[in-house]
Amino acid sequence: MRLNKYIAQSGECSRRQADKLVQGGSVTVNGSLELNPAYQVVENDDVKLDGRKIITGQLSRTILMNKPVGYITTMHDPLKRKTVMDLIDIKERLFPIGRLDKDTSGLLLLTNNGDLANLLTHPRNKIHRIYQLEIDKPFENWEKRKIAKNVYIGQKEWGRGEIIEQKKNKGRTTVLMKLYEGKKREIRRIAYRMKRTLFSLKRIEFGPIQLDSTLPGAYRDLYESEIKELSSL
């Protein structure tokens, strides 16, 4: 089995993240530094990540969290800020599938299934995400067309999204925007370029999984029906 897949199946991270860990010098095999994600792990190989032995074979588990504002999406934070891992208390070692920034709330999936994480986050699979934005005024039709085509968002990057609904409410506008890629802070950068004030941002859908009545800061295991939907992607 390839080293990156071995690490992903242990529940440490996705396969793409495993590539970065290996190439960054965090992994040893039988006491020697291994920088090749394609290294073939064989039976009785001693694989360690940052000095900690990797154990495979645990049962797959995926949870849905309603992430509150104020928590960063990472496993560990050297600055000791609050992370989403502070909100869960379970025995399995889970990691976030993708990320929501500190000021974004809503649907976040955490898993120990590296293949699932890779499926949901790899750009070639075009798994959609839907976000709810609260902004100062609605987008005009020409602006919606521009966002759907391409908006320059800085740092030699272009953002793109589909405006699927807009509703005015007490001087503000609630917008539903669908994305198929996950560039860093993409919606915030689109809103800035389109000269909109963004008051809040919440993810409400990730592929077939929708945010439900789970309270902010709480989490639950995926239902069997949701697992089947993910398996069919």
- What are phi and psi for residue 114, nearest 5 degrees? -65, -35
Q: Return d(Cα 211, Cα 215) in angstroms, integer.
A: 10
Q: Are 199 and 188 in contact (CB under 8 A)?
A: no
Catalytic one of 101, 115, 212, 221: 101
DSSP 102: T
Question: Which residues are registered as beta bridge partners of 154?
Answer: 157
Six token digits for residue 125: 């699979």
Q: What b-and-e string marks burial along 175-190, b requiring 16 or more CB atoms within 10 Å of the CB?
A: bbbbbeeebeebbbbb
The one-character DSSP state at 46 is: -
Structure-token pair, residue 109: 């999936």
Cβ partners under 8 Å of residue 184, min gap 6:
none
* 45 labelled catalytic: no
Give catalytic residues, as residue numbers.
101
